[in-house]
Amino acid sequence: MWYSLAIIIANALLASSVWALPDGFVYVDQEIPGIRVELLYASSNNFVGRPINGYVSKKAVLTKPAARALADVQADLKLFGLELFIFDTYRPQRAVDEFITWAKDLKDIRTKAEYYPRVAKENLFSEGYIADRSGHSRGSTIDLTIVSSSSPFKPLNMGTNFDFFGSESWPKFAGASPEQRANRLLLRTLMLKHGFKPYEMEWWHFTYEKEPFPETYFDFVVD
């Protein structure tokens, strides 16, 4: 009996150590209670078309300074009846590796019409849409948009869906409507104000400039 109990306790301790966040990381909802999150790579609703390796839970994780800066962005938006909606935060390296494997499989084009209709799959690397390293794996990069705080909430019109590979997703895309340009500028302005730098090919993508782990690519899994 005591032997079985000891095994149970040991397994529980092992599980807790496996799933503990590394020092310097936090769950985003601890810093921003009520933050809206839908990690699309934990579902089949993404450009690969299936749940991605490493996305065990749907909890958003960031480094502490990035999460605290994001809380300031949320506070600014709340004054105007708006708030943030998160698509992705920390991304384990194993997920990036799966993206690479998918991109090299030129026969799998199930999601082409929705996510990259005008980009040849073999060019996703050369055109900067897929890379073998991602800032997300350093823990201070985030993909997000703005939504209304009303119920049901409504996303602001940004012109494309998240992870659309094409010039239409560039923050300064000339073909965007005045409303779309204004909404992208609002997100960009607030993120810049609070210490995030944008990526010029994706209106939703920002990295905290003072990231604490600029050279480290993590691979821990979030439970």
What is the predicted pLDDT for the residue at 135? 97
Which residue numbers in the chain have pLDDT < 50?
Answer: 1-18
Residue 219 lies in a domain: no
DSSP string, 94-109: HHHHHHHHHHH-TT--
Residue 148: per-residue pLDDT: 97
Long-range contacts of 97-100 (CB under 8 A, 24+ apart): 97/53, 98/48, 98/52, 98/53, 98/54, 99/48, 99/52, 99/130, 100/130, 100/132
> What's the pLDDT at 145?
98
> Is 80 part of any domain?
yes
In a domain, 88, yes or no: yes
**Structure token pair of residue 47:** 């450009």
**What total number of domains does the chain contain?**
1
Domain limits for position 105 = 25-208
Residue 222 within a domain: no
- State in Å, rounded, how far the first CA of the chain is from the last one: 30
Nearest CA-CA partner of 73 in 84, 89, 65, 62: 84
Give domain status of residue 199, yes or no: yes
- Residue 107 is predicted with a pLDDT of 97
- In this structure, is residue 40 part of a structural domain? yes
| Structural domain includes residue 9 | no
CA-CA distance, 167 to 125, in Å (whole number)? 15
Q: What is the pTM of this model?
A: 0.90
pLDDT recorded at residue 151? 85
pLDDT at residue 1, rounded to an integer? 47
pLDDT of residue 20: 80
pLDDT at 223 (0 to 100): 83
Q: Looking at residue 19, what is its pLDDT?
A: 56
Q: What CATH number does the domain containing 87 carry?
A: 3.30.1380.10
Residues labelled catalytic: 202
Residue 37 lies in a domain: yes
